[in-house]
Amino acid sequence: METKTLSPQSQTIERERTEALIAVRTEELFDRMPALLGFSFDEELAACDVELQRWPGHTWSRDVYEEVRVLITDFAIELAAEDPQGEELLRARTFARNLQ
């Protein structure tokens, strides 16, 4: 089976489209989880460095962190399935909530 090589311009357009999709999906993820402040992906696309909002006198349990990690990892899997470049663009990347 022969594969086509995209022109540099087409590659740029595809990357921009994928980055836009990542931005939309990330915003949706932060909207669904108001306590989520930030997270990273490792090389295997597993969620790591999950940061949740802290309140005085309250600590998040390990179970909550694990549930959030699973949701973030599912987010990566779904995005990679939706866009072939998504997986590569998420790998070893960090995301933070925009607090404007």
Whether pLDDT at 1 is above 70 = no
Domain edges within the chain? 8-96
Whether pLDDT at 100 is above 70 = no
Residue-wise pLDDT tens digits, 62-79:
999 999 999 999 999 998
pLDDT band at 83 (very low <50, low <70, confident <90, very high): confident
CA dist., res. 15 & res. 18, Å (int) = 5
Q: What is the DSSP string of 26-92?
A: HHHHHHH-TTEEEEEE-TTS-EEEEEE--BTTB---HHHHHHHHHHHHHHHHHHHHH-TTHHHHHTT
What average pLDDT does range 33-57 have in this prediction? 92
Whether pLDDT at 3 is above 70 = no
* Residue 88, C-beta contacts closer than 8 angstroms, at least 6 positions apart: none
Residue-wise pLDDT tens digits, 14-23:
889 999 999 9
Whether pLDDT at 8 is above 90 = no
